[in-house]
Amino acid sequence: MSEKQTVRLLDPLFTTDSMREIFSDRRRLQGMLDFEAALARALARAGVAPDASVAPIVAQCSADRFAMDVLAREAALAGNLAIPLVKALTAAVAKSDAQAAGFVHWGATSQDAIDTGLVLQLREALDLLQRELAQFSSPLARVAEKHQSTLLAGRTWLQQASPVTLGLKVAGWLDAIHRHQARLANARREVSTLQFGGAVGTLAALGDKSPAVAAALASELKLQLPSIPWHTHRDRFAEVATRLGLLVGTMGKIARDISLLAQTEVGEVLEPAESGRGGSSTLPHKRNPVGSAVVLAAAIRVPALVSVLLTAMVQEQERGLGGWHAEWETLPEIFLLAAGALAHLTHVVDGLEVFEEHMTHNLGATHGLILSEAVAIALAKHIGRSPAHQLVERAAHRALQSGRPLRDLLLEDQEVRARLSSAEIDGLLDPRNYTGSAASMIQQVLADEKKNR
Amino acid sequence: MSEKQTVRLLDPLFTTDSMREIFSDRRRLQGMLDFEAALARALARAGVAPDASVAPIVAQCSADRFAMDVLAREAALAGNLAIPLVKALTAAVAKSDAQAAGFVHWGATSQDAIDTGLVLQLREALDLLQRELAQFSSPLARVAEKHQSTLLAGRTWLQQASPVTLGLKVAGWLDAIHRHQARLANARREVSTLQFGGAVGTLAALGDKSPAVAAALASELKLQLPSIPWHTHRDRFAEVATRLGLLVGTMGKIARDISLLAQTEVGEVLEPAESGRGGSSTLPHKRNPVGSAVVLAAAIRVPALVSVLLTAMVQEQERGLGGWHAEWETLPEIFLLAAGALAHLTHVVDGLEVFEEHMTHNLGATHGLILSEAVAIALAKHIGRSPAHQLVERAAHRALQSGRPLRDLLLEDQEVRARLSSAEIDGLLDPRNYTGSAASMIQQVLADEKKNR
Amino acid sequence: MSEKQTVRLLDPLFTTDSMREIFSDRRRLQGMLDFEAALARALARAGVAPDASVAPIVAQCSADRFAMDVLAREAALAGNLAIPLVKALTAAVAKSDAQAAGFVHWGATSQDAIDTGLVLQLREALDLLQRELAQFSSPLARVAEKHQSTLLAGRTWLQQASPVTLGLKVAGWLDAIHRHQARLANARREVSTLQFGGAVGTLAALGDKSPAVAAALASELKLQLPSIPWHTHRDRFAEVATRLGLLVGTMGKIARDISLLAQTEVGEVLEPAESGRGGSSTLPHKRNPVGSAVVLAAAIRVPALVSVLLTAMVQEQERGLGGWHAEWETLPEIFLLAAGALAHLTHVVDGLEVFEEHMTHNLGATHGLILSEAVAIALAKHIGRSPAHQLVERAAHRALQSGRPLRDLLLEDQEVRARLSSAEIDGLLDPRNYTGSAASMIQQVLADEKKNR
Amino acid sequence: MSEKQTVRLLDPLFTTDSMREIFSDRRRLQGMLDFEAALARALARAGVAPDASVAPIVAQCSADRFAMDVLAREAALAGNLAIPLVKALTAAVAKSDAQAAGFVHWGATSQDAIDTGLVLQLREALDLLQRELAQFSSPLARVAEKHQSTLLAGRTWLQQASPVTLGLKVAGWLDAIHRHQARLANARREVSTLQFGGAVGTLAALGDKSPAVAAALASELKLQLPSIPWHTHRDRFAEVATRLGLLVGTMGKIARDISLLAQTEVGEVLEPAESGRGGSSTLPHKRNPVGSAVVLAAAIRVPALVSVLLTAMVQEQERGLGGWHAEWETLPEIFLLAAGALAHLTHVVDGLEVFEEHMTHNLGATHGLILSEAVAIALAKHIGRSPAHQLVERAAHRALQSGRPLRDLLLEDQEVRARLSSAEIDGLLDPRNYTGSAASMIQQVLADEKKNR
């Protein structure tokens, strides 16, 4: 059972091997077994169990020693995995050391093992995501820097509005990723908290030794010791889910942007070419934005999965009925989808093909109208904002009706010519002159990125 | 690869083997291959392909012939499973018959194979659920009939209100299941519809043969032929999801009822006892309502999954980007959870232990107050509704304050005694006399059940 | 209080006056009062109450007679609106006829009034939606017919794939609307069901008269009489929500299509121009797709609201605690959003500006590659599918690299020229010759539409 | 228009007046107008506009000056509120000062006003919630302290498990509230960020003055200045939604606990009595947990609304189409529901009636089995864990079968008697001796609370 999990048909498309490994069945067991091993040590440190009980227990705390299918079937009856696992672990320890077997799971309850085991998985998963986010921010910064002066049409409501730079757009993506890095770091800190309360949260079975055991256990697992057990307070788990939900939302935004820019009629970027990637069996000219599709699929699925964690928070008294169970597959699924989306998106941004000539071409699609605001503002300095706006609007409508360039109509307009020279008009209609603070905004985000490292 | 899928740790708890089989990777491939085989036959029937091309293609259309892990990896690049599958199928056919290979997938697009393949899986899954619903309605009807006169407290807002019968409660459950049976039958009919449109829905590659091929293909697969391809109109798939969402909601309601009745302090029912089921490793007196927990978990998860299908309906132009992909794992997951919940709930209802003595005992918990409405109505016939209500309310408040039975306070009240004899009061305070139309309502639902068979 | 409800700032953007009227506070009260009035009549018909009690009760059953703000404040304490309303109604009747007042709400419970009142609102709202769907299908059919031969690029994964016709696209929209019309008709039938069960669903307060009263009440309100009360079985309400969720999903798909076609770089359609509509304060050239934005917003919000109804189905015993309450604002909100989306979309489709010249222009964007499938199929008839595909692929790649038209490269290719004449190649590269069955599919949907009327 | 908003029928039940005020239509306008006023000042500070333009603009920036219904109708055409508002504001300013009118909204875009206006509302709403959370934590701490030794049955899976104290349960609630206080403080900090980017985020219309204007504007509004505008990066708004979602989840858990404890058969607590609160028109003995119902309704609704904000994050390019619009009503709705739930729950906890005698009585419901773990652990010290467990299990099963107290069966058991005296057994079966670290955990949480103040 130590071999890799079986790949399922859609796994490589939607997630990554490394995240699948963390949330594999084996690791789910191992998380619980790590708890049990640490508990054995903590009991000894606190003087509850003899030191001699530690080694025989720890020796058995390896997921590979257990028959996965048997545990699976028994869990269906028991209602959770810890009950059959603890039974099997106890039996395994008893074979080598009957006395030690008596201290297996001592003072703990199923939920302590399951919840803390999941905490251990989550901590690792958050570390993985954090590393991968760092690997994503790097090409983002590179593209933002390289294309800080690359002009393209800014689009609002899917209509061309005013010019932006590709660097500005990508810096906006990167700036959001910076926030997510901070959020994940915070979530890791919050969720790295021991759950240890015994049957109902009092740790009564350990009597007056319970504080010592709890402290030792937290120390063994390098987890925070909470003020009070949190078995039916699931806000830390749900919080992690929300953090990933936010991250996936941002990735969805980026993928939507890329896929829109990659449309045949826009043609400003393409996802990286690769043999077998995004091709079509019948249409030789197609390069489908497969990465964007995967990210967008995650952005549709994850918000609903986050809502499951929030709904599941309503857990009854000292152990939830259904709410607890609803978390077990859902929280891992969120991580799997987030990791898959991040991998695809990193690949896409890292190899993004940029077609500056198409950006330039599209900037001309409105024959100058995309710069009408620039002209209006220049005129306003002479004749006031309202008259200037009306003047440009008049020219713009004529341009739209006639299909002629805005430049020609401005040059023909006596009122305009009274204020602006032909050279000035040309300057105003040059998108390079109308990017405002884009460059300094990009620099600010790149500076943040450097600090972040 | 013909062997059973690997059991995953939580599968037996949350779903069933039979539903897992239908939505296994193997069957996902087989659905697509069934489409390809039927297409080969349809092309021949319509005279597009020679009859001789059919057998070589059909011979390869078996999921076991394909390397799952290779397809999985290639799908991650291609963006869907059909592209590598069609490539592999074509290659396999070519080995035996190069000419036949030329007709593999002829005129079709990836989405035709994927969508129609899923339709075939859904049809089978709906048939399975329908059979299992019939097996659920049977113990429901039995319990409703057996306990048509078993009295227990009706509870509103979790407070005792007025008496009901267990039969009435269970008949309410069964009546809802009847509606779900009709809904699933309807959903099966709607979803059993061929998707076949070629690259963009025109079937242009088949020229004027396309109507004939489409008709033959629908006939081969026993599917409805739609007026127009529906590749980016996903309402039929989403509809199936909503149908299951409704069913799971009802199951959640039933499980909530059972788990509340099974509380230690209520003790009116228990989930069936079974070795290893619902036990606790430390608390020997416990019998945890594991079945209810699983159903309630599904009732938390499935609504969110349904919302995914609805959100995913916004699919772009002639092929969705992300929305389509979001369906592939979500729709099966809904079926898996629904099937698991149904299996648990059927087991629970079938073996439900009923403790009539506790029901009787609990009916006495309010010392007669649960029947105050009955007394008020009897008095109202003599003195009008408002005075009657005030009279009983006064007695009820005294009973609550003093902890004495309502009966005693009624007997002491001169106004009451002027209207009602002691025997009449006893009759009014007997819950058997205050179940209204419960019996005939139960009979009506049982009659519906008989008609249903 | 008979005047129109105050318009709230975002109401005109997101919903319609007519749907707001149906789900106004006044109509919510009136729904409950209609229940109470009908109950008074039913009690008399069944001989439970004297005929003389009917008129005095019915006379007070008008929402305008009640102080909305007082009811609102009392409902916050009582936990529902029916408790203060029934109290106020009883007091009002008592002023004119003390005996009649004794029969107000007789045998019913709060939930009977609230649920049946809502059923009456839903029935009307579904009728309104149905009428508005008919008004939507009419311009859809018109556009589908008018543009049955209007060619544009079919797009998959947001990439140009093969040609389609605008008529085909719109016929696909219309075909989905036909399914929704059938679904809403079905939902109206299902939800038009009386809820009447008294305190716990037994109708015990009515004794042996309860079947007669229930039947008369259903008949008064023209509602179906169910086999058993359904107070904690909310599937009919949740079903209505799912039906609207499906409809909104389809509308979202249509709006997404339109807004993509309306992009500056595509320019194939525009939402209708109208003074003040979709303009920008600074950018004179913009016409924002406001209608599409509103529909897409609904398509994001409604799926989640549907999931609320499904989650809320888990209602306890004989009255839900929280689940019931969660429905009261959510179900109306779904109708309001659906109606708003439908009104915007009808307006958009009805006045849709179509720019055929841009469609033609965009069809040329790939310099013939959009028709490569057509060429490959023609060649396949001579040399087999695989060699044909390779041949075209080779030419296509050359076209992509060189930027030259596919036609030129085909003409230069000796292998191609050996099979196809220059005229044949021109025919194959004419999109008019590659629309497959589009025309007959459109006719089929238009025929469905005619039958539907 | 300065008067209070009209109360809607269900508002007092589901929300609070103070939160309704913050998210009233008037305040929505005022938020945008506060932005415009601050912009006027910032333009002057940066030397873009003359100082004389400030006063005339600021003077008009009062929501009461605008015709709400006109703006509402125009917003339905324009697609957002800012367009008609800026037009009306400009016209109003122009009446008194034509030159100043030219500087209204100068350099800004609709989204700057709408987003920043909403930020101002959110900041205030978070402050309000924070104050109300402080008022909630106070009775929580009081109840936790007062009942630190009040024993009741701990319940897992809705079954009695082991004893806990009421103080421990409430300290668990309070501990979660502490986390939410930290989260809301953090969210307030994050969301208090200026949005100011002009048409596409470059601030091009302000030329080289844009950094100065942006800084002055942030300073005027006491908001953070971001590295880059965030118009299509909605993670800060969505984050606020998730924070409230987490809070509502915890409140739902508390309400579920209370409503379960308040069940007729449990009777351990009741929501506070109040005239008109939770009564039933027909059942005089009922006190419905209205507060819990409202909180539970919010806990069903809010998770779905949070998912809307997450789904809506996928916003296109430089302005979202639909996603942006989906936020406008949803984010306020989350605040309204959270505030209503918090008000109800504070009221409930503050006046919670605790019935210690019922807690004691229920602790005896299992005739000692609730303490079987205590006995097993005591025996284990003599004979090892496994034999001890078996011994107690045997006695427990006998107790269950016979209905006799565990004590009697233990006393009759020779093996037990060989180890434990009768007095020891009595000590073990006394729940006061089996609360573990509950007391010190409570103290820890109360100490946290003191630090928090």
Report the gap between the CA of B389 and the closest CA in chain D (Å): 8
B102-to-A81, A285, B98, B185, C44 alpha-carbon distances in Å:
52, 21, 7, 39, 78
CA-nearest residue to C258 within chain D is D321
Report the alpha-carbon distance of residue B44 to residue A397 in Å, rounded: 59
Q: What is the pLDDT of residue C2?
A: 35
- pLDDT tens for the 453 residues of chain C, in order: 334 456 799 999 999 999 999 999 999 999 999 999 999 999 999 999 999 999 999 999 999 999 999 999 999 999 999 999 999 999 999 999 999 999 999 999 999 999 999 999 999 999 999 999 999 999 999 999 999 999 999 999 999 999 999 999 999 999 999 999 999 999 999 999 999 999 999 999 999 999 999 999 999 999 999 999 999 999 999 999 999 999 999 999 999 999 999 999 999 999 998 777 766 656 666 789 999 999 999 999 999 999 999 999 999 999 999 999 999 999 999 999 999 999 999 999 999 999 999 999 999 999 999 999 999 999 988 988 778 888 898 888 888 888 899 999 999 999 999 999 999 999 999 999 999 999 999 999 999 999 987
Question: Among A139, A151, A143, which Cα is nearest to A356's?
Answer: A151
Query: Considering only CB atoms, which chain B residues are within 8 Å of D161?
Result: 280, 283, 286
Query: Considering only CB atoms, which chain D residues are within 8 Å of A164?
Result: 200-202, 318
DSSP letter for D193, please.
Answer: B
Hey, which residues of C are catalytic here?
A: 280, 319
Q: Do B436 and C157 touch (CB under 8 A)?
A: no
Indicate the pLDDT class of residue D273, thresholds 50, 70 and 90.
Answer: confident
CA-nearest residue to B241 within chain C is C242
Domain C119-147+155-193+230-363+439-453, CATH number (from 3.90.1150.10, 3.40.190.10, 1.20.200.10, 1.10.287.3510): 1.20.200.10
CA-nearest residue to B274 within chain A is A77
Report the gap between the CA of C425 and the closest CA in chain B (Å): 16
Residue C188, beta-bridge partner list: none
**Residue D158 is nearest to which of B155, B263, B366, comparing CB atoms?**
B263
The three-class DSSP label of residue B3 is coil
Report the alpha-carbon distance of residue A117 to residue A195 in Å, rounded: 9
Q: Do C155 and A396 touch (CB under 8 A)?
A: no
Query: Considering only CB atoms, which chain A residues are within 8 Å of B292?
Result: 321-322
pTM of the complete model beyond 0.90 = yes
Query: Considering only CB atoms, which chain A residues are within 8 Å of D79?
Result: 157
Q: Is A372 a catalytic residue?
A: no
Whether the CB-CB separation of C302 and C337 falls below 8 Å is answered with: yes
Size of interface C-D (CB pairs under 8 A): 199
**Residue D264 is nearest to which of B160, B288, B293, comparing CB atoms?**
B160
Q: Do B72 and A11 touch (CB under 8 A)?
A: yes
CA-nearest residue to C290 within chain A is A157
**Residue C321 is nearest to which of D72, D73, D293, comparing CB atoms?**
D293
Query: Considering only CB atoms, which chain C residues are within 8 Å of B374?
Result: 204
Q: Which two tokens stand for residue A188?
A: 């890791």
Report the alpha-carbon distance of residue C17 to residue C7 in Å, rounded: 9
Size of interface B-C (CB pairs under 8 A): 335
Between the CA atoms of B393, B399, B401 and B402, what dihedral angle is there, to the nearest 10 degrees?
150
- pLDDT tens for the 453 residues of chain A, in order: 334 456 799 999 999 999 999 999 999 999 999 999 999 999 999 999 999 999 999 999 999 999 999 999 999 999 999 999 999 999 999 999 999 999 999 999 999 999 999 999 999 999 999 999 999 999 999 999 999 999 999 999 999 999 999 999 999 999 999 999 999 999 999 999 999 999 999 999 999 999 999 999 999 999 999 999 999 999 999 999 999 999 999 999 999 999 999 999 999 999 998 777 766 656 666 789 999 999 999 999 999 999 999 999 999 999 999 999 999 999 999 999 999 999 999 999 999 999 999 999 999 999 999 999 999 999 988 988 778 888 898 888 888 888 899 999 999 999 999 999 999 999 999 999 999 999 999 999 999 999 987
**Residue D205 is nearest to which of A316, A373, A384, comparing CB atoms?**
A373
What confidence tens digit (pLDDT) does each residue in B381-423 have? 898 877 888 889 888 888 888 889 999 999 999 999 999 999 9
Mean pLDDT, rounded, of chain B: 95
Q: Do D72 and C105 touch (CB under 8 A)?
A: no
Q: Do D283 and B161 touch (CB under 8 A)?
A: yes
CA-nearest residue to D278 within chain C is C78
What backbone torsions phi and psi does residue A165 show, to the nearest 5 degrees?
A: -115, 155
Instruction: Please report how many Cα atoms fall inside a 13 Å half-sphere around the Cα of residue B378, on the Cβ side.
Output: 22
Query: Considering only CB atoms, which chain B residues are within 8 Å of C303?
Result: 306-308, 310-311
CA-nearest residue to B271 within chain A is A77
Report the gap between the CA of C271 and the closest CA in chain A (Å): 12
Report the gap between the CA of A332 and the closest CA in chain C (Å): 21
Report the alpha-carbon distance of residue C268 to residue C355 in Å, rounded: 5
A103-to-A106, B281, D416 alpha-carbon distances in Å:
5, 13, 21
**Residue C329 is nearest to which of D10, D299, D328, comparing CB atoms?**
D10
CA-nearest residue to B372 within chain D is D283
In chain A, where are the structural domains located? 1-108+205-220, 119-147+155-193+230-363+439-453, 369-428
Report the gap between the CA of C279 and the closest CA in chain A (Å): 11
Report the gap between the CA of A282 and the closest CA in chain D (Å): 30
Active-site choice (D142, D319, D398, D404): D319
Report the alpha-carbon distance of residue C264 to residue C259 in Å, rounded: 10
What confidence tens digit (pLDDT) does each residue in A6-25 have? 679 999 999 999 999 999 99
**Residue B396 is nearest to which of D284, D392, D396, comparing CB atoms?**
D284
Q: Do D200 and A162 touch (CB under 8 A)?
A: yes
**Residue A392 is nearest to which of C157, C158, C284, comparing CB atoms?**
C284
Q: Is D27 a catalytic residue?
A: no
**Residue B233 is nearest to which of C158, C253, C302, comparing CB atoms?**
C253
Architecture of the domain spanning D1-108+205-220: Orthogonal Bundle (1.10)
When computed from its CA atoms, the radius of gyration of chain C, rounded to whole angstroms, is 30
Report the gap between the CA of C266 and the closest CA in chain A (Å): 6
Q: Do C300 and B307 touch (CB under 8 A)?
A: no
Q: Do A282 and C153 touch (CB under 8 A)?
A: no
CA-nearest residue to B99 within chain C is C384
Mean pLDDT for B86-107 is 95
**Contact partners of D by the rule of 3+ C-beta pairs under 8 A?**
A, B, C
**Contact partners of B by the rule of 3+ C-beta pairs under 8 A?**
A, C, D
Show the CA angle centred on residue B309, arms to residues B303 and B312, nearest 5°: 140
Between the CA atoms of B22, B28, B29 and B34, what dihedral angle is there, to the nearest 10 degrees?
70
- Please report, for chain D, how many H helices and E strands are present, in that order: 20, 4
Q: Do B235 and C176 touch (CB under 8 A)?
A: yes
Report the alpha-carbon distance of residue A35 to residue A40 in Å, rounded: 9
DSSP B115-126: HHHHHHHHHHHH
Active-site choice (B280, B402, B422, B437): B280
Report the gap between the CA of A144 and the closest CA in chain C (Å): 24
Active-site choice (B142, B155, B319, B398): B319
Q: Do B230 and C198 touch (CB under 8 A)?
A: no
Query: Considering only CB atoms, which chain B residues are within 8 Å of A79?
Result: 13, 278, 288, 290, 293-294
Class of domain C369-428: mainly alpha
